[in-house]
Amino acid sequence: MPPIPPTTLLRLEKSARAAAKKSYSPYSRFAVGAAVLADSGKIYIGCNVENASYGLCNCAERTAIFSAAAAGTRKLTAVLIYTPTKTPTAPCGACRQVINEFGPHARVIAVCDSPARLDTTLDALLPGAFGPQSLRAGAAQQ
């Protein structure tokens, strides 16, 4: 994966910070903003959107990824998450799985309100992932 220019990373971070301001999180009071980078260079944003039926809460990462997918994106090169916390917040398991669908080798960065940051890859966060290739492997056995 080619390196992502620092200016693009800065744009991603600003986008995720702005997205967190739109968070609808009256139940957890935990605001999350996410920005994803498509292979086209376009950035898509998302925030967490909660629901009175708690199980229907949607994470910021998935909001951003579904928005990118709805715009036709099928390849993600980076996911950046912002939380207004002292330590960075890594994506939850469900979001790791959803990132894997479109960005199995994506860079994953989490920033917060301190200089601490997480800068890793989806490969490192979800080793041995179940993905499209798993279904193809199953079909080959039939």
Q: Which stretch binds ligand THU (CB under 6 A): 8-16, 59-67, 99-107, 117-125?
A: 59-67
The two structure tokens encoding residue 79: 């996911």
* Helices and strands (DSSP H and E) totals, the chain: 5, 5
Q: Which stretch binds ligand THU (CB under 6 A): 54-62, 99-107, 115-123, 128-136?
A: 54-62
Catalytic (active site) residue 101: no
- Contact call for residue 125 and ligand THU (CB under 6 A): no
- Contact call for residue 126 and ligand THU (CB under 6 A): no
CB 84 within 8 A of CB 62: no
Cα-to-chain-centroid distance, residue 99 = 6
CB 21 within 8 A of CB 33: yes
- Contact call for residue 50 and ligand THU (CB under 6 A): yes
- Contact call for residue 98 and ligand THU (CB under 6 A): no
Within 10 angstroms of residue 22's Cβ, the number of other Cβ atoms is 15
Within 10 angstroms of residue 88's Cβ, the number of other Cβ atoms is 18
Q: Which stretch binds ligand THU (CB under 6 A): 2-10, 14-22, 87-95, 116-124?
A: 87-95
Residues that bind ligand THU (CB under 6 A): 25, 28, 30, 32, 48, 50, 57, 59-61, 91-92, 95
